[in-house]
Amino acid sequence: MTTPQPVSFAHFGWFVLVPLVAAALTYFFARKTFLRAAIAIGRCSAALGAFDIEVIDRLVLGGAARLLRAIAQFATTCDVWVVGGVVQIIAGTIWAISIPMRMLQSGSLRSYMFAMVMGLIGFLGYYLYLARHSIR
C-alpha cells in the first residue's frame, strides 16, 4: 500500500502566487491595456448576464415551466375523467348488480336458515338423482 503524498499550502501556493505576480506586472507595465481588458471583460459579463436573463431564464426556464404546467394539467384531467370515470362505472355496475341480493337479505336468522336447508335439500337431491341414473 502506498501512502498519499503530503499536501501543503506550499505546493498550491505557486498556483496562486504566479498569476498574482503576472497580473501585478501587467498592471504596472501595461496599465491602459489592463484597464481596457477589464472594461472588455465587464462588457462581456454584462452581455452574458443579459443573455442569461433573456434567453435562459425567460425562454428556456419559462418554456419548461409552461410545459410542465401543461403536462400537470393534462395528467390531472386524465386522472379525473379516465381513472375516476372508470372507477365510477365499476362502482355503479356493482351497486346495480347488488340490488337483487340486497332485496333477498332481510336480516332474519330464520330466513337464512331456511335458505341453507333448501340449498342442502337441493344439493342432496341433485346427487341422489345422479346416483340413481348412474346405476341404470
Residue by residue, pLDDT tens for the chain (136 residues) are 566 666 666 667 777 888 888 888 877 888 888 788 889 988 988 888 888 888 888 888 888 888 889 999 999 888 888 888 888 999 999 999 988 888 777 778 888 899 899 999 999 999 999 988 887 6
Kindly report the pTM of this predicted structure: 0.38
Structural domain boundaries, residue 119: 107-136
- One-letter amino acid for residue 49 of the chain: G
Task: Using alpha carbons, select from 55, 54, 23, 53 the residue that is nearest to residue 38.
Answer: 23
Same domain, 114 and 57: no
Q: Are residues 91 and 48 in the same domain?
A: yes
Cβ proximity of 34 and 27 under 8 Å: yes
Tell me what pLDDT residue 85 has.
Answer: 87
The C-alpha cell at 69 is 404546467
Cell representation of residue 11: 505546493
Q: Angle of helix 31-51 relative to helix 9-29, nearest 10 degrees?
A: 110
Q: Do residue 66 and residue 90 come from a single domain?
A: yes
